[in-house]
Each structure stands twice: as C-alpha cells, then as structure tokens.
Amino acid sequence: MTQPSRIGAAVPYLHMIERIRFEESEWPEPDSIAIGVIWKDVDRPDVGGVALRRTDRALAERLRDVIARGDAYENVEIRTDNDGRTYVSVANRFSVVELAQDLDTLDRIGPRAGADVAA
C-alpha cells in the first residue's frame, strides 16, 4: 500500500484551469480514456496527462475528480520553454503505476491545507 508520507502537499491550482480534459482517445491503444488539464493564460495549454484503458473508466473518473477538487498536483508553476513559450509544470501527487492505491490515499487524507476550492 502507498505510504501517505511520500505524497507531498497540494498547492492551489484550480484558478489556473481552463477545463479538465476527459475524452476518448486512440492512444496508447484504441478505446483509451485521456485525462488531463487545459491550462489558462499559457502558450502551451495542453501539456501532459494520463491515458487509461476504457476498462479502467471508474479509475479515470476518480482521477478526474481528484484533479477537480485540487488534490492532484504539487509544485505547480508557469515555466518558459527554449522557444519562449509558456506552459504549466506540475508534479503529480500520484503514480500512474499505483494509481488506485494513491487515489485511495488522497481520498483518505482529504483536501490539503492551502488547496484552493472550486467556485
């Protein structure tokens, strides 16, 4: 089981989200589900995300909900790439390999102090 101590504190990021991407995808295989964030006010708004098998839809929905409540990321910052374009860099508070266990931990410890709340 994932140890809660390895999961760092969430930081406010909900105000930076344009929308959460939750859609069918053909990558990495047909009938996958892509989950990610479209960020506001940056040149490269769609960087990163997770793709899960269609059979893992319940897990994908849980991940979407953790993102939406502000518990999925830490070290959120706007950076500039080598071409001068801005993007949002984050550190996941979950491991894709241990996603189910990490989501259980995030659900158990609940919203973190300092996390912003959706309007």
> Dihedral through CA 12, CA 66, CA 20, CA 51, nearest 10?
130
Return per-residue pLDDT of the chain as tens, 119 residues.
Answer: 334 445 666 678 999 999 999 999 998 889 999 999 999 999 999 998 999 999 999 999 999 999 999 999 999 999 999 999 999 999 999 988 888 898 988 888 876 544 555 44
- The residues spanned by each domain of the chain are 12-108
Residue carrying the six token digits 């979950």 = 94
pTM of the model: 0.79
